[in-house]
A and B are shown apart, each in its own frame.
Chain A
Amino acid sequence: MEGELPSNRKCSALTGSSRKIKDNAADWHNLLLRWERLNDHGFDVAQNIVNLRLRRSESQHLQLQADEALPPLEPAGISVATLQQDCDKLQEVYDKMVALVTKMERLVVSQHGISELEQFQFGVEGRKTPLFHSWNAKHFEDVSVFLLDSFQSELRLKGALLQDLAHTVTSDLHVVHLSCWLLQPFVPPQVRLMLEALLLETGHRPI
Protein backbone atom coordinates (compact mmCIF):
# COMPACT_ATOMS: atom_id res chain seq x y z
CA MET A 1 0.00 0.00 0.00
CA GLU A 2 1.28 3.39 -0.86
CA GLY A 3 1.21 6.34 1.46
CA GLU A 4 -1.96 7.60 3.06
CA LEU A 5 -4.46 9.22 0.81
CA PRO A 6 -5.65 12.67 1.82
CA SER A 7 -9.05 12.07 3.42
CA ASN A 8 -10.46 15.45 2.60
CA ARG A 9 -9.59 16.25 -0.91
CA LYS A 10 -10.83 19.67 -1.66
CA CYS A 11 -9.57 20.04 -5.19
CA SER A 12 -12.17 17.86 -6.86
CA ALA A 13 -15.55 19.27 -7.71
CA LEU A 14 -17.55 16.48 -6.18
CA THR A 15 -20.39 17.25 -3.86
CA GLY A 16 -23.04 15.46 -1.84
CA SER A 17 -23.08 11.70 -1.64
CA SER A 18 -20.20 11.26 -4.07
CA ARG A 19 -18.03 13.54 -2.03
CA LYS A 20 -18.84 11.69 1.15
CA ILE A 21 -18.31 8.28 -0.42
CA LYS A 22 -14.99 9.24 -1.88
CA ASP A 23 -13.81 10.54 1.48
CA ASN A 24 -14.98 7.36 3.13
CA ALA A 25 -13.03 5.30 0.63
CA ALA A 26 -9.90 7.21 1.44
CA ASP A 27 -10.60 6.66 5.11
CA TRP A 28 -10.95 2.92 4.55
CA HIS A 29 -7.65 2.85 2.81
CA ASN A 30 -5.91 4.72 5.58
CA LEU A 31 -7.47 2.62 8.29
CA LEU A 32 -6.36 -0.56 6.64
CA LEU A 33 -2.89 0.81 6.25
CA ARG A 34 -2.72 1.62 9.92
CA TRP A 35 -4.13 -1.74 10.78
CA GLU A 36 -1.36 -3.43 8.86
CA ARG A 37 1.24 -1.40 10.64
CA LEU A 38 -0.27 -2.20 14.01
CA ASN A 39 -0.44 -5.84 13.07
CA ASP A 40 3.24 -5.97 12.15
CA HIS A 41 4.21 -4.20 15.33
CA GLY A 42 1.97 -6.47 17.34
CA PHE A 43 3.53 -9.49 15.72
CA ASP A 44 6.99 -8.43 16.81
CA VAL A 45 5.77 -7.96 20.36
CA ALA A 46 3.95 -11.28 20.30
CA GLN A 47 7.05 -12.99 19.05
CA ASN A 48 9.00 -11.54 21.95
CA ILE A 49 6.40 -12.76 24.38
CA VAL A 50 6.47 -16.25 22.96
CA ASN A 51 10.25 -16.41 23.05
CA LEU A 52 10.36 -15.22 26.63
CA ARG A 53 7.68 -17.63 27.58
CA LEU A 54 9.46 -20.55 25.98
CA ARG A 55 12.77 -19.66 27.53
CA ARG A 56 11.11 -19.35 30.91
CA SER A 57 9.42 -22.71 30.79
CA GLU A 58 12.65 -24.21 29.59
CA SER A 59 14.68 -22.77 32.45
CA GLN A 60 12.00 -23.78 34.89
CA HIS A 61 12.13 -27.23 33.51
CA LEU A 62 15.88 -27.35 33.82
CA GLN A 63 15.70 -26.06 37.32
CA LEU A 64 13.20 -28.67 38.30
CA GLN A 65 15.51 -31.26 36.94
CA ALA A 66 18.62 -29.87 38.56
CA ASP A 67 17.58 -29.01 42.05
CA GLU A 68 14.28 -27.84 43.38
CA ALA A 69 15.88 -26.14 46.34
CA LEU A 70 17.82 -23.69 44.17
CA PRO A 71 16.59 -20.12 44.29
CA PRO A 72 14.92 -18.98 41.08
CA LEU A 73 17.46 -17.86 38.56
CA GLU A 74 18.01 -14.16 38.22
CA PRO A 75 17.19 -13.93 34.50
CA ALA A 76 13.90 -15.59 35.18
CA GLY A 77 12.97 -12.76 37.49
CA ILE A 78 13.90 -10.24 34.88
CA SER A 79 11.99 -12.05 32.22
CA VAL A 80 8.84 -11.94 34.33
CA ALA A 81 9.08 -8.20 34.33
CA THR A 82 9.84 -8.06 30.60
CA LEU A 83 7.02 -10.44 29.91
CA GLN A 84 4.61 -8.17 31.71
CA GLN A 85 6.01 -5.22 29.80
CA ASP A 86 5.57 -6.91 26.51
CA CYS A 87 2.09 -7.98 27.37
CA ASP A 88 1.28 -4.40 28.17
CA LYS A 89 2.68 -3.34 24.83
CA LEU A 90 0.54 -5.88 23.08
CA GLN A 91 -2.44 -4.66 25.02
CA GLU A 92 -1.68 -1.18 23.73
CA VAL A 93 -1.57 -2.42 20.19
CA TYR A 94 -4.84 -4.19 20.75
CA ASP A 95 -6.41 -1.05 22.16
CA LYS A 96 -5.37 0.87 19.10
CA MET A 97 -6.88 -1.82 16.94
CA VAL A 98 -10.11 -1.52 18.88
CA ALA A 99 -10.05 2.18 18.15
CA LEU A 100 -9.53 1.49 14.46
CA VAL A 101 -12.45 -0.89 14.36
CA THR A 102 -14.60 1.71 16.13
CA LYS A 103 -13.71 4.13 13.37
CA MET A 104 -14.61 1.52 10.82
CA GLU A 105 -17.96 1.10 12.47
CA ARG A 106 -18.52 4.81 12.14
CA LEU A 107 -17.66 4.65 8.48
CA VAL A 108 -20.21 1.92 8.01
CA VAL A 109 -22.83 3.95 9.80
CA SER A 110 -22.04 6.87 7.57
CA GLN A 111 -22.20 4.67 4.51
CA HIS A 112 -25.54 3.35 5.65
CA GLY A 113 -26.76 6.89 6.10
CA ILE A 114 -25.76 7.79 2.58
CA SER A 115 -27.46 4.72 1.30
CA GLU A 116 -30.68 5.64 3.03
CA LEU A 117 -30.45 9.17 1.82
CA GLU A 118 -30.02 7.96 -1.72
CA GLN A 119 -33.03 5.73 -1.34
CA PHE A 120 -35.01 8.57 0.04
CA GLN A 121 -33.97 10.86 -2.78
CA PHE A 122 -34.31 8.55 -5.73
CA GLY A 123 -36.59 5.78 -4.52
CA VAL A 124 -35.85 2.05 -4.59
CA GLU A 125 -34.64 2.22 -8.17
CA GLY A 126 -31.77 4.49 -7.25
CA ARG A 127 -30.46 7.37 -9.27
CA LYS A 128 -30.36 7.22 -13.05
CA THR A 129 -26.67 7.95 -13.52
CA PRO A 130 -24.26 6.11 -11.25
CA LEU A 131 -22.37 7.98 -8.57
CA PHE A 132 -19.00 7.30 -10.12
CA HIS A 133 -18.58 4.61 -12.75
CA SER A 134 -20.99 1.78 -12.05
CA TRP A 135 -21.59 1.16 -8.34
CA ASN A 136 -24.69 2.34 -6.58
CA ALA A 137 -24.87 3.43 -2.97
CA LYS A 138 -26.07 0.04 -1.83
CA HIS A 139 -23.00 -1.57 -3.28
CA PHE A 140 -20.77 0.82 -1.42
CA GLU A 141 -22.55 -0.03 1.78
CA ASP A 142 -22.16 -3.78 1.17
CA VAL A 143 -18.46 -3.42 0.66
CA SER A 144 -18.12 -1.43 3.85
CA VAL A 145 -20.11 -3.96 5.81
CA PHE A 146 -17.98 -6.78 4.48
CA LEU A 147 -14.78 -4.99 5.43
CA LEU A 148 -16.10 -4.21 8.87
CA ASP A 149 -17.21 -7.79 9.42
CA SER A 150 -13.80 -9.10 8.55
CA PHE A 151 -12.01 -6.76 10.85
CA GLN A 152 -14.47 -7.24 13.67
CA SER A 153 -13.92 -11.00 13.60
CA GLU A 154 -10.21 -10.48 13.33
CA LEU A 155 -10.32 -8.17 16.31
CA ARG A 156 -12.15 -10.79 18.33
CA LEU A 157 -9.46 -13.28 17.42
CA LYS A 158 -6.76 -10.83 18.38
CA GLY A 159 -8.47 -10.35 21.71
CA ALA A 160 -8.50 -14.07 22.32
CA LEU A 161 -4.86 -14.32 21.31
CA LEU A 162 -3.98 -11.52 23.70
CA GLN A 163 -5.58 -13.45 26.51
CA ASP A 164 -3.91 -16.77 25.75
CA LEU A 165 -0.55 -15.84 24.42
CA ALA A 166 1.35 -15.57 27.69
CA HIS A 167 -0.41 -18.53 29.28
CA THR A 168 0.28 -21.21 26.71
CA VAL A 169 2.90 -23.80 27.36
CA THR A 170 3.05 -26.01 24.29
CA SER A 171 5.31 -24.65 21.59
CA ASP A 172 3.03 -25.84 18.80
CA LEU A 173 0.21 -23.76 20.13
CA HIS A 174 2.55 -20.81 20.38
CA VAL A 175 3.40 -21.14 16.76
CA VAL A 176 -0.28 -21.38 15.89
CA HIS A 177 -0.95 -18.23 17.85
CA LEU A 178 1.78 -16.35 16.08
CA SER A 179 0.61 -17.69 12.77
CA CYS A 180 -2.88 -16.45 13.56
CA TRP A 181 -1.62 -13.05 14.47
CA LEU A 182 0.53 -12.73 11.38
CA LEU A 183 -1.71 -14.24 8.75
CA GLN A 184 -5.01 -12.82 10.02
CA PRO A 185 -7.25 -15.70 9.02
CA PHE A 186 -10.39 -13.61 9.25
CA VAL A 187 -9.15 -11.07 6.77
CA PRO A 188 -9.54 -12.95 3.52
CA PRO A 189 -7.64 -11.95 0.38
CA GLN A 190 -10.88 -10.49 -0.99
CA VAL A 191 -10.52 -7.62 1.48
CA ARG A 192 -7.57 -6.32 -0.42
CA LEU A 193 -9.34 -6.76 -3.74
CA MET A 194 -12.45 -5.00 -2.51
CA LEU A 195 -10.48 -2.09 -1.19
CA GLU A 196 -8.68 -1.74 -4.49
CA ALA A 197 -11.99 -1.91 -6.32
CA LEU A 198 -13.35 0.74 -4.01
CA LEU A 199 -10.40 2.99 -4.69
CA LEU A 200 -10.70 2.45 -8.42
CA GLU A 201 -14.40 3.17 -8.40
CA THR A 202 -14.03 6.34 -6.43
CA GLY A 203 -11.26 7.55 -8.65
CA HIS A 204 -8.45 7.47 -6.12
CA ARG A 205 -6.60 5.21 -8.48
CA PRO A 206 -6.52 5.92 -12.19
CA ILE A 207 -8.30 3.37 -14.26
Chain B
Amino acid sequence: MSKPAVIPLQQAIKKSFQCLENNQKIWKSVLAECGPLMVSLGNLAEQSIALSNVQLSNTPLRVFPDLEERLRFKQQHAIDTVLGKMNEKMSSLQSVRDSISNQVSGVFQLYEQNTESLDIPTLTERSAITPSISDMLEWLQDADRHYRQEFLRRKMLLQTLRADDLSLLESAPKRWKSLETPTAEDQISDTLCKVSFFMESQ
Protein backbone atom coordinates (compact mmCIF):
# COMPACT_ATOMS: atom_id res chain seq x y z
CA MET B 1 0.00 0.00 0.00
CA SER B 2 2.81 2.33 -0.85
CA LYS B 3 1.05 4.34 -3.53
CA PRO B 4 -0.99 7.29 -2.39
CA ALA B 5 -3.73 6.63 -4.91
CA VAL B 6 -4.45 3.16 -3.60
CA ILE B 7 -6.10 4.19 -0.35
CA PRO B 8 -8.85 6.43 -1.78
CA LEU B 9 -9.53 3.86 -4.48
CA GLN B 10 -9.91 1.13 -1.89
CA GLN B 11 -12.21 3.37 0.11
CA ALA B 12 -14.36 3.93 -2.92
CA ILE B 13 -14.45 0.22 -3.66
CA LYS B 14 -15.49 -0.46 -0.10
CA LYS B 15 -18.32 2.02 -0.43
CA SER B 16 -19.41 0.41 -3.63
CA PHE B 17 -19.56 -3.02 -2.09
CA GLN B 18 -21.63 -1.64 0.77
CA CYS B 19 -23.99 -0.12 -1.75
CA LEU B 20 -24.09 -3.42 -3.61
CA GLU B 21 -24.95 -5.30 -0.44
CA ASN B 22 -27.80 -2.97 0.43
CA ASN B 23 -29.15 -2.95 -3.06
CA GLN B 24 -29.01 -6.70 -3.34
CA LYS B 25 -31.40 -6.92 -0.41
CA ILE B 26 -33.76 -4.42 -1.96
CA TRP B 27 -33.58 -6.21 -5.27
CA LYS B 28 -34.46 -9.52 -3.69
CA SER B 29 -37.35 -8.15 -1.73
CA VAL B 30 -38.80 -6.36 -4.75
CA LEU B 31 -38.48 -9.49 -6.83
CA ALA B 32 -40.27 -11.45 -4.14
CA GLU B 33 -43.17 -9.04 -4.40
CA CYS B 34 -43.25 -9.40 -8.17
CA GLY B 35 -43.84 -13.15 -8.09
CA PRO B 36 -47.44 -13.12 -6.83
CA LEU B 37 -48.28 -10.27 -9.19
CA MET B 38 -47.07 -12.26 -12.14
CA VAL B 39 -49.01 -15.30 -10.97
CA SER B 40 -52.21 -13.31 -10.78
CA LEU B 41 -51.45 -11.91 -14.23
CA GLY B 42 -51.23 -15.45 -15.52
CA ASN B 43 -54.47 -16.38 -13.80
CA LEU B 44 -56.27 -13.43 -15.32
CA ALA B 45 -54.98 -14.40 -18.74
CA GLU B 46 -56.19 -17.92 -18.18
CA GLN B 47 -59.60 -16.61 -17.24
CA SER B 48 -59.70 -14.48 -20.38
CA ILE B 49 -58.80 -17.45 -22.52
CA ALA B 50 -61.49 -19.53 -20.87
CA LEU B 51 -64.00 -16.82 -21.54
CA SER B 52 -63.02 -16.79 -25.20
CA ASN B 53 -63.35 -20.54 -25.40
CA VAL B 54 -66.79 -20.70 -23.84
CA GLN B 55 -69.92 -19.88 -25.76
CA LEU B 56 -71.90 -18.30 -22.96
CA SER B 57 -75.12 -18.44 -24.93
CA ASN B 58 -74.97 -22.22 -24.67
CA THR B 59 -74.75 -22.23 -20.89
CA PRO B 60 -77.24 -21.47 -18.14
CA LEU B 61 -75.58 -18.05 -17.87
CA ARG B 62 -77.32 -16.99 -21.06
CA VAL B 63 -79.89 -15.17 -18.91
CA PHE B 64 -77.33 -12.40 -18.51
CA PRO B 65 -77.02 -11.03 -22.03
CA ASP B 66 -74.22 -8.55 -21.38
CA LEU B 67 -72.30 -10.81 -19.04
CA GLU B 68 -69.52 -11.63 -21.49
CA GLU B 69 -68.92 -8.00 -22.31
CA ARG B 70 -68.92 -6.99 -18.67
CA LEU B 71 -66.71 -9.83 -17.58
CA ARG B 72 -64.28 -9.10 -20.40
CA PHE B 73 -64.15 -5.50 -19.28
CA LYS B 74 -63.49 -6.45 -15.69
CA GLN B 75 -60.76 -8.87 -16.73
CA GLN B 76 -59.03 -6.24 -18.81
CA HIS B 77 -59.38 -3.81 -15.97
CA ALA B 78 -57.81 -6.27 -13.56
CA ILE B 79 -54.96 -7.02 -15.97
CA ASP B 80 -54.29 -3.32 -16.35
CA THR B 81 -54.18 -2.91 -12.61
CA VAL B 82 -51.68 -5.73 -12.20
CA LEU B 83 -49.52 -4.39 -15.00
CA GLY B 84 -49.58 -0.98 -13.40
CA LYS B 85 -48.34 -2.48 -10.17
CA MET B 86 -45.65 -4.36 -12.06
CA ASN B 87 -44.49 -1.11 -13.59
CA GLU B 88 -44.08 0.35 -10.16
CA LYS B 89 -41.98 -2.65 -9.15
CA MET B 90 -39.91 -2.26 -12.26
CA SER B 91 -39.13 1.31 -11.48
CA SER B 92 -37.87 0.31 -8.06
CA LEU B 93 -35.75 -2.38 -9.71
CA GLN B 94 -34.47 0.25 -12.08
CA SER B 95 -33.48 2.50 -9.24
CA VAL B 96 -31.52 -0.39 -7.73
CA ARG B 97 -29.78 -0.97 -11.01
CA ASP B 98 -29.03 2.71 -11.48
CA SER B 99 -27.63 3.11 -8.05
CA ILE B 100 -25.28 0.16 -8.53
CA SER B 101 -24.31 1.40 -11.99
CA ASN B 102 -23.54 4.85 -10.69
CA GLN B 103 -21.42 3.53 -7.87
CA VAL B 104 -19.43 1.26 -10.15
CA SER B 105 -18.86 3.87 -12.80
CA GLY B 106 -17.80 6.29 -10.08
CA VAL B 107 -15.15 3.85 -8.90
CA PHE B 108 -13.94 3.32 -12.45
CA GLN B 109 -13.71 7.04 -12.99
CA LEU B 110 -11.63 7.36 -9.90
CA TYR B 111 -9.37 4.61 -11.20
CA GLU B 112 -9.05 6.22 -14.57
CA GLN B 113 -8.07 9.52 -13.04
CA ASN B 114 -5.21 7.79 -11.32
CA THR B 115 -4.07 5.40 -13.99
CA GLU B 116 -0.65 7.01 -14.06
CA SER B 117 0.20 6.13 -10.51
CA LEU B 118 -1.34 2.67 -10.54
CA ASP B 119 0.66 0.15 -12.50
CA ILE B 120 -0.40 -3.40 -13.15
CA PRO B 121 1.68 -5.05 -10.40
CA THR B 122 0.10 -2.75 -7.83
CA LEU B 123 -3.35 -3.46 -9.14
CA THR B 124 -2.86 -7.21 -9.06
CA GLU B 125 -1.30 -7.31 -5.62
CA ARG B 126 -3.21 -9.62 -3.29
CA SER B 127 -3.02 -10.42 0.36
CA ALA B 128 -4.79 -12.86 2.62
CA ILE B 129 -7.49 -10.43 3.61
CA THR B 130 -7.47 -8.00 0.73
CA PRO B 131 -8.25 -9.15 -2.77
CA SER B 132 -6.40 -7.30 -5.48
CA ILE B 133 -7.85 -4.09 -6.78
CA SER B 134 -8.20 -5.54 -10.23
CA ASP B 135 -10.19 -8.49 -8.88
CA MET B 136 -12.50 -6.22 -6.97
CA LEU B 137 -13.03 -3.90 -9.87
CA GLU B 138 -13.79 -6.92 -11.97
CA TRP B 139 -16.34 -8.18 -9.46
CA LEU B 140 -17.98 -4.82 -9.32
CA GLN B 141 -18.21 -4.75 -13.06
CA ASP B 142 -19.65 -8.27 -13.05
CA ALA B 143 -22.27 -7.29 -10.52
CA ASP B 144 -23.18 -4.21 -12.50
CA ARG B 145 -23.52 -6.31 -15.65
CA HIS B 146 -25.57 -8.90 -13.83
CA TYR B 147 -28.14 -6.41 -12.60
CA ARG B 148 -28.29 -4.68 -15.94
CA GLN B 149 -28.93 -7.97 -17.68
CA GLU B 150 -31.48 -9.08 -15.13
CA PHE B 151 -33.35 -5.83 -15.32
CA LEU B 152 -33.29 -5.71 -19.07
CA ARG B 153 -34.63 -9.23 -19.48
CA ARG B 154 -37.50 -8.51 -17.14
CA LYS B 155 -38.21 -5.20 -18.74
CA MET B 156 -38.18 -6.85 -22.15
CA LEU B 157 -40.62 -9.46 -20.95
CA LEU B 158 -43.03 -6.85 -19.68
CA GLN B 159 -42.58 -4.62 -22.71
CA THR B 160 -43.46 -7.38 -25.09
CA LEU B 161 -46.67 -8.32 -23.29
CA ARG B 162 -49.76 -7.27 -25.14
CA ALA B 163 -53.29 -7.32 -23.85
CA ASP B 164 -54.55 -8.96 -27.04
CA ASP B 165 -52.10 -11.83 -26.99
CA LEU B 166 -53.54 -13.86 -24.16
CA SER B 167 -51.33 -16.90 -24.56
CA LEU B 168 -48.32 -14.63 -24.21
CA LEU B 169 -49.81 -13.24 -21.02
CA GLU B 170 -50.61 -16.69 -19.75
CA SER B 171 -47.07 -17.90 -20.18
CA ALA B 172 -45.64 -14.72 -18.67
CA PRO B 173 -45.37 -15.99 -15.08
CA LYS B 174 -43.54 -19.08 -16.24
CA ARG B 175 -41.14 -17.03 -18.31
CA TRP B 176 -40.70 -14.58 -15.49
CA LYS B 177 -39.77 -17.45 -13.24
CA SER B 178 -37.33 -18.79 -15.80
CA LEU B 179 -35.51 -15.47 -15.80
CA GLU B 180 -34.37 -16.10 -12.27
CA THR B 181 -30.70 -16.91 -12.23
CA PRO B 182 -29.94 -18.16 -8.74
CA THR B 183 -26.35 -19.01 -9.63
CA ALA B 184 -25.60 -15.48 -10.76
CA GLU B 185 -27.26 -14.11 -7.66
CA ASP B 186 -25.21 -16.52 -5.55
CA GLN B 187 -22.16 -15.25 -7.35
CA ILE B 188 -22.89 -11.79 -6.02
CA SER B 189 -23.27 -13.16 -2.52
CA ASP B 190 -20.02 -15.08 -2.94
CA THR B 191 -18.30 -11.91 -3.99
CA LEU B 192 -19.63 -10.12 -0.96
CA CYS B 193 -18.27 -12.93 1.22
CA LYS B 194 -14.91 -12.68 -0.46
CA VAL B 195 -14.62 -9.03 0.34
CA SER B 196 -16.06 -9.29 3.85
CA PHE B 197 -12.64 -9.20 5.53
CA PHE B 198 -11.63 -6.30 3.38
CA MET B 199 -14.81 -4.48 4.34
CA GLU B 200 -14.22 -5.02 8.02
CA SER B 201 -10.59 -3.96 7.89
CA GLN B 202 -9.48 -0.51 9.05
A/B contact in complex, CB under 8 angstroms = yes
Taking a contact as CB atoms under 8 Å apart, the answer to whether A160 and B50 are in contact is no
**Cα distance A185–B77 when bound, in Å?**
11
For A164, A178, A180, A188, the residue with the greatest tally of chain B CB atoms inside 10 Å of its CB is: A180
Tell which of A8-16, A91-99, A124-132, A167-175 binds the partner.
A167-175
Known: A172-B50, A175-B46, A175-B47. A180 touches B60 (CB 8 A): no
CB-nearest residue of chain A to B81: A189
- Residue in A160, A171, A172 whose beta carbon sits within 8 Å of that of B61 in the complex: A160
Contact (Cβ within 8 A) A185 B53: no
Interface size on B, residues (CB 8 A): 21
Given contacts A185-B70, A185-B74, contact A179 B61 (CB under 8 A): no
B77 touches A170 (CB 8 A): no
Chain A residues packing against B (C-beta within 8 Å): 153, 156-157, 160, 163-164, 168, 170-176, 178-180, 183-186, 188-189
Known pairs A175-B51, A185-B74 / 6 extra A-B pairs, C-beta < 8 Å? A157-B67, A160-B63, A175-B50, A176-B71, A179-B51, A186-B64
29 A/B residue pairs, CB under 8 Å, sorted by A = A156-B64, A157-B61, A157-B67, A160-B61, A160-B64, A164-B59, A164-B61, A172-B49, A172-B53, A172-B54, A175-B46, A175-B47, A175-B51, A176-B50, A176-B51, A176-B61, A179-B50, A179-B51, A179-B71, A180-B67, A180-B71, A183-B47, A183-B71, A183-B74, A184-B74, A186-B64, A186-B70, A188-B73, A189-B77
